[in-house]
Structure 1
Amino acid sequence: MINDIYDTYIPPNYKKDIVIQKLKRLPVITLCKLIVEWISRFPLKHGRVNSHNIKDHLEILLKTKIGRPELAKLITLKYWNYGLNMYQLAQLDTMILLQHPKSYLWNSHRIYRTETDRFPALIIPNDFTRVLQELFQRQNQKCHIFYYRHPNLPLNMFRISLFELSRGDQHYIERTPFYVVFTVSKSPIIIHTHYRESDTYAKLIMQLIKESIMITSRVQSNSITSMNDTKDSAYITLKDEGSNPIKNLSNIYLTSGIDGTGNTVASWQSYSNGSSDVSPLSHPSKHQSIKGKEAITKFDDKLERKRKSMLRFHGKELDGEPVYDNDIPVEKIKFTIENHIDEEDPLATPIQINFSFTGKDVFGGIHELCDEGVIDIDKIPGWLCGDNGTKSGNVIDGDFEEYKKRGGLI
């Protein structure tokens, strides 16, 4: 019997057909990236494929137009025919979460030091993971924690899995994974998987998350040097403010205020990002009220265009340059545009136009075209910027509506 659930632990009861169905939900390019990372981290035990030739091997497969079902079977039946380990399964689930964001419900809690004083916690992933694992051990609860940095948002994501023994005490059974998300900077808000009040496992996870925040915050402030002193359980409290569950992590990130801007829009947004009030460390002569708006916004047209497109596409930068190759690319997407031309006759047949996009990264390519000025960034609609994730659908008079499922892929 193992003493803990390590990354290399392979659940014996994980059925391969379930894993294949999960793998088939990811694009081919994402699957290839996972294969390269997994082979470098967990070398294959059999076959001629290794970390040195895997990229060449995958390039040959891509030239043959290999699809997701074939690649999924290759992963489970050839590369890792003995089963995927906990690290691989956790990363696979996280990639699916990012690829299909509307399949998950989220809630948030606020951290308070007192009844009214919010506590902005700073979560350091390694410290938080270590402390949380030790707290689960104190509860004699087997767990596995997987950390992942969100590819587009400034968020630290933790996938927490709890295990219980099977009836025959022969192996562990994994319960439904629980996700908790923190911003990379200080914030009094925690985003987490939506759960029912009757879910005792979720309540235990939230309780130990609270204790982990208390312990790591104290260590950072040098008030204690170990995790043995936790008697002051009222140091912080987590309050659920009764918000309804929200689909899509990006939506709750924007609306919860986890980054300090969730409740500020339009002209008030400058107050949240500090561009309106003068900082004590800044020079008053450089403020907008002194220099004037025209002097501040006098940028090169191309740089201004790139800035706008970066905001519209929720993009990221590497060494100051935009990155168009997303971690979760959309390879195929379709839209049907319906516009009612005759406003006087609402029953008149609308004009329909179909758009189909295919490629290595559809929205990354559109983002690049906007940067180059081929597409007007000021006029492009949100559904062409990836605002609706990976979903295809109808755009009726400007409003997006997901296609109804018909039992097949679009």
Structure 2
Amino acid sequence: MAPRGGLSVPTNGVLGHSLRIPSTNTELVRALSRLRRESLISVVLQWLDKKHRNFCQPYLYADHDPDDAENEHLEYDPPAQSLEELREVYEGHKKGKGSRKEIADRILCGDWRHGISLYQLAMVEERLLLDHPTSHKWYGKRLVRKREQEPGVEPGDYADDFPRFQAATFLQSLANQLSPLMKAHYYFTRQKNMHKGMGLTLMRIFMHDSPYNTEQSLHDVQPQTSGGSSAAKAVWVAFPDGSPYVYLSISTSPGQRVGYEALSLQKLLYDAVPQALSKPFKRYELQDTKLHTRSLEALLTLRGSRGSNAAPGGWSIFVDNKLNQNTLDFGINPPSKDAIKKSKPPNPAHVHDRAGKENNTRTTKRGRRNTALADEEAAESPASKRWKQVAEGRFGNSGVEGDGMALERVEVRIDDAFPASVIPAVLDEEDIQNPRPTARKSKAYGRPSRPSELDREADETASTPGAGSADWRPDVRATFYGSHVFAGIRQLAEKGVVDGERMPGWMTGEAGVSIGVVKDGKIRTRNNIV
């Protein structure tokens, strides 16, 4: 009779670093295939380092059982005798031996054929996050004090009050809240110079919807089903140093969908993060800052330790304090033109354009010199120079590639009243009194899409006046897409497509949000938390 398996008992413990998932796991194979060859070798060498060996033990010759039928193929891929020998093998791969696919196959089918630990998987996803910084969508949240359930607290005590983050204490409190609801694996990593010397603490939480914390429960997880990904999902939480903000992330790999089970687990996690940072009579909650982006660099710039009012747009010239004068006296005693030229930092966009134009002036194959740059400068009209000057004044040092504020999507709703004199000429009275509701459908799956954050609330819709009123507000929205939205708007202003003088301030990125409502030319958020 075959031996009976061990008894699994529900527990409140967390998933340990040494627990292994099968090497055939779909999510694991996909993660390794996305790594670059150099990164893959670097991660394996980290596994073989002394400080990581306890959780990353490979399959060695001492573990070989010749009577095991699963090891009949060992003659084609024999295991290493020791860790030092295995390390030399992967050091040799650094010199150009073997392709990325061959190295990944050796890892999954050879040196770690008995499975990859959760600690190793976390290190792989950490390297993926660093190599592909736009693979995750980040949500900027702010920690604010709860004003209820705290008797005797003055309103002034809530200003600029945020908890001190300590990884060990936070992890213990978070695990106590989540362990009765789900099992999770926690992994901390530290990035000291993520952006302009600003530090960041990253925490990866691998959520597993199971009452057991055994390897067998991990083996039973199906990585992906027809209805979406499984309930086991990894979420990143980032804590910038000296900042009241928290960044929450969801992996948005192409072709992957998040199932309903995973969404419910994520909701539990998001609610538990502020509770783990709270103390008795000092409770916190997370409020959305209306900044959603795929760039951690943009979050650190706009919601980092240097404050949320980083002065994008035309005010960015005062941030670096390179004008050699008092900022408050800028309008009273303006500096000379020579002082501005010496102190003014170079415009990356102009430097890039000039570099590209200088490349065109190099000697061609026929030995003739191209004078396109000189002809273009001579033919530049006064209007074009004026547009560039206006754009430089409106955007300052922002709105260029490499400014650290790249937002790939900006969505706004225009909440200004429609002119009463134009309403009869545009719409019929019946259409204004009885607007026809339209049901939005999802293009991908043919079902109603989730409500947008810009949808008007019930009280706002009820208070909208009817026909003939000067306060009628149509539902007008504008969405901008691109690798850097405000850099694209700046280029349009430099070419005269957008009127730089009449352009509202939110189009230069001064608000520092990716979603909001525009009224009277100014952008505002739902809860005014920026």
SS of the residue 1:177 aligns to: strand
Structure 1: segments with no counterpart, 5+ residues: 216-229, 278-307, 313-334, 346-380, 389-393, 400-410
SS in 2 for 1:48: coil
Instruction: Map residues 68-217 of structure 1 onto 2, 5 A cutoff.
Output: 68-113=100-145, 117-137=159-179, 139-150=180-191, 152-153=193-194, 154-165=199-210, 171-172=217-218, 173=221, 175-184=232-241, 186-193=242-249, 199-215=263-279
Partner of 1:239: 287
Q: Give, in angstroms, the shift of residue 157 of structure 1.
A: 0.5
Matched ranges for 1:4-403 at <5 A:
4-12=14-22, 15-16=24-25, 18-40=27-49, 41=52, 42-46=56-60, 47-48=79-80, 50-113=82-145, 117-137=159-179, 139-150=180-191, 152-153=193-194, 154-165=199-210, 171-172=217-218, 173=221, 175-184=232-241, 186-193=242-249, 199-215=263-279, 232=281, 235-241=283-289, 243-260=290-307, 263-264=310-311, 266-269=316-319
- Report Cα offsets for 1:57-115 as digits up to 9, x if no partner: 22322334422211111111111111111111122112112211112111111111256
Asked whether the 8 Å contact 2:240–2:300 carries over to 1, the reply is no
1:224-251 per-position Cα deviation (integer Å, ceiling 9, x unaligned): xxxxxx5x4x62222113x142112122
Letter in 2 for 1:187: S
Q: Name the residue aligned to 1:304.
A: none
Shift of residue 386, structure 1, vs aligned partner? 11
Q: Which whole-Å CA distance do the structure 2 matches of 1:6 and 1:251 have between them?
A: 34
State, as a whole percentage, how many aligned pairs show the same letter. Answer: 19
SS in 1 for 2:19: coil
Unaligned runs of 5+ in 2: 1-7, 61-78, 148-157, 222-230, 252-257, 328-344, 349-355, 361-371, 381-399, 407-482, 489-530
Give, in whole Å, the separation in 2 of the partners of 1:50 and 1:269.
Answer: 56
Q: Is the 8 A contact 1:7 1:85 kept in 2?
A: yes
Structure 1 contact 255–262 (Cα < 8 Å) conserved: yes
Contact 1:190 1:258 in 2 (8 A): no
Compute the TM-score of the two structures, normalised by the length of structure 1: 0.57
Q: Secondary structure at the match of 1:15?
A: coil
What SS does the corresponding residue of 1:4 show, helix, strand or coil? coil
CA contact (8 A) 1:253 1:262 kept: no
Distance 2:26 2:207 in 1: 22
The aligned amino acid for 2:288 is D
Q: Please provide the CA RMSD for this pair.
A: 4.5
For residue 387 of structure 1, report the CA deviation from its aligned partner. Answer: 10
* TM-score, length-scaled by structure 2: 0.45
* SS of structure 2 residue aligned to 1:8: coil
Q: Is the 8 A contact 2:14 2:175 kept in 1?
A: no
Contact 1:44 1:50 in 2 (8 A): no
